Amino acid sequence: MRKKTATRSQRAPRRTDSLSRELIIQTAIELLDSRGESALTLRALTVRLSTGYGAIYHHVADKSDLLAAATDDIITRVLSGAGMDTDPRETLRHLALGLFDAIDAHPWVGAELSRQPWRPALLDFYESIARLLDALAIPERSRFDAAGTLMNYVLGVAVQNAANARRLADSDTDRATFLDTAAAQWAQVNPSRYPFVHAAAAQLREHDDREQFLAGVDIFLTGIAALRQSSES
């Protein structure tokens, strides 16, 4: 009560329109996208929304609920934009790239997915994958493992790529110099003990994460095709 009148004049004005869960989630996404994971604090949210802690907790269970909701929002947005191509293989590539790019653009989504890999929003992704594998004539018996493997691969790479993106954002070096120093480290490794790492240093500098990701999808698709043959017993 003491200095109340003094502090009140300095306090930010409260909002007049009412708060909503949706508004809180969108504000959280803005914060995460613009200033990174560590910028999402309850404090920052109260400031941005001109409100108090309790107001936020009235619409959202806790911070992890908020992070999960924000993640669902991004994923749903990506998947709804994914069209169906005529060629199943091509559609699968586009689908995988869509998730890859989305997580690259919102690295915090990668971190959250690595904490909670099975969000309901990913059901659509799984469904699409299974449908396309069916179109590729993968027998039902193998489909479960194949779909699971592709899910794992796509999410796994995206998550790791996001970790790199976050580290790049934290430091002040750009991707080129980052790869240069990494490649330099690989090149300095003892060539007799690590011949292959040593030899790969040059390719590390030149490689494109997105292309390598796609190369992996293609390896998977080739491997999958063999499941079709071997099942014709």
What residues line the site for DNA (CB under 7 A)?
7, 11, 14-15, 18-19, 40-44, 50-55, 57-59, 62-64
DSSP string, 127-173: HHHHHHHHHTT--HHHHHHHHHHHHHHHHHHHHHHHHHHHHHHHSS-
Q: Which is nearer to a second copy, 172 or 206 (CB)?
A: 206
Lay out the site mask for a second copy across 100-139 (x = CB under 8 A, - = otherwise): -----------x--xxxxx----xx-xx--xx--x-----
Q: Of a second copy, DNA, none, which one sits near residue 62, judging by CB under 5 to 8 A according to partner kind?
A: DNA
Contact present, 89 and 136 (Cβ < 8 Å): yes
| Of residues 22 and 218, the one with the C-beta less far from DNA | 22
How far is residue 89 CA from its own chain's centroid?
22
Q: Which of 197, 205, 210, 228 binds a second copy (CB under 8 A)?
A: 197
Helix, strand and coil content of the chain, in percent to the nearest 5, comes to: 75, 0, 25
Per-residue tokens: 51: 């409100």
Selection from DNA, a second copy, none that 190 binds (CB < 5 to 8 A by kind) is none
Question: Does residue 178 bind a second copy (CB under 8 A)?
Answer: no
Q: How far is the CB of 192 from DNA (least distance, A)?
A: 34
Q: Which is nearer to a second copy, 44 or 179 (CB)?
A: 179
Tokens of 99: 């998730």
Cβ-count burial of 163 within 10 angstroms (0-12 exposed, 13-18 middle, 19+ buried)? middle
Q: What are the helix (H) ranges across 3-51?
A: 4-8, 21-35, 42-48
CB closer to DNA out of 36 and 156: 36
Which residue stretch of 9-17, 27-35, 81-89, 209-217 sits at the interface with a second copy (rule: CB under 8 A)? 209-217
Which CB, 39 or 197, lies closer to a second copy? 197
